A and B are shown apart, each in its own frame.
Chain A
Amino acid sequence: MIHLYAFVRGLRQVEPGLEARPLESLEVVTGAEQTDPLQHGLVVERLLDQADAVLPVRFGERFRTEDDLAAAIAPRLEALEHQLDHVAGCVEVGVRIVPRREAAHADDGAAYMRARLREQLSTDELHRALAAKARDSVQTNRDVGYLVPRADIGAFSVAVERLLESHPALDVLCTGPWAPYSFAAAA
């Protein structure tokens, strides 16, 4: 079985146990059968330092032969190339904003709704401010993944820190930098 890790561009080195094969304008990083999702994730994160652009593949994509792999990729090649262009030079920073549950202590229904609205408004405001500093953003429930150019990570962290200080009623959990999983859509 061939295990698929990621699509990349500008791969500078290939770690032992992995294979990189060129396909049109991108490279496909594969390895022997992999049964551990954590290892899959770690390989992908390491690729982030070894290539100019990394498009992570969801764990569990495996192919019997190289021909099967090539055949599965061929119809998606153009979409994959567009996605690689989009994430080139970027990492993903995850930001989760958790309101301090002021609403939970509301005296009545109206007060509860007002508190929830205030929470939502400050959360939205925060995300808008961060989105302005990122190339792209994708929201999944409370988590927003920001696509941040490598060179801007410092500035982005400072922005998160400032917002955290200016919004004492919100808790902000920042994770990453990750490989841009949230920007690697089903092709």
Chain B
Amino acid sequence: MSVVERRQSLAEQVTLLDLVDRVLNKGVVVTGDITLSVADVDLVYVGLRLLLASAATLEREAAG
């Protein structure tokens, strides 16, 4: 397998965690409180929206 092919197969392994890890698990914490719900929307649901958005973004990038 060429380097390019290896890279492409790996790009598919970029998961929700890659994105969520940064925004939800990393970064400066000021209050120390974890916001379990945002605007009365459960964070699990917010995460699902993130998954859909990021999958679409990845597809778009793969196509472009």
A interface residues (Cβ-Cβ under 8 A, vs B):
4, 7, 33, 35-38, 40-41, 44, 55-63, 72-73, 76, 80, 83, 94, 98, 140, 143, 161, 164-165, 171-173, 175, 178-179, 181-182, 184-187
Smallest CB separation, A90 vs chain B (Å): 15
Q: Which of B10, B21, B26, B34 contacts A184 (CB 8 A)?
A: B26
Q: How far is the CB of B46 from chain A (nearest CB, A)?
A: 6
Complex CA–CA separation, A143 to B17 (angstroms): 11
Q: For A175, list chain B residues within 8 Å (CB).
A: 14, 18
Closest B-chain residue to A59, C-beta based? B23
Chain A residues touching B, majority SS:
mixed
Q: Are A173 and B46 in contact (CB under 8 A)?
A: no
Q: Are A33 and B39 in contact (CB under 8 A)?
A: yes
Centre residue among B6, B19, B22, B24 by max chain A CB count within 10 A: B22
Inter-chain residue pair count (beta carbon < 8 A): 104
Which chain A residue lies CB-closest to B12? Answer: A173
- Residue in A closest to B22 when the chains form the complex, CB atoms: A181
Q: Does B63 contact A (CB under 8 A)?
A: no
What's the tally of chain B residues with a CB closer than 8 Å to chain A? 35
Asked if A40 contacts B26 (CB within 8 A), the reply is: no
Contact indicator A182/B26 (Cβ below 8 Å): yes
Q: In the complex, A164 Cα to B8 Cα: how many Å? A: 13
Q: How far is the CA of A84 from the CA of B28 in the complex (A)?
A: 11
* Given A37-B47, A94-B18, A56-B27 contact (CB < 8 Å): yes
A-B contact pairs, 7 of them (CB 8 A): A4-B30, A37-B50, A38-B53, A59-B35, A61-B29, A73-B30, A173-B13
For the complex of A and B, 10 pairs with smallest distance between CB atoms: A60-B35, A58-B27, A181-B26, A56-B27, A186-B29, A181-B22, A41-B23, A173-B10, A35-B39, A35-B38
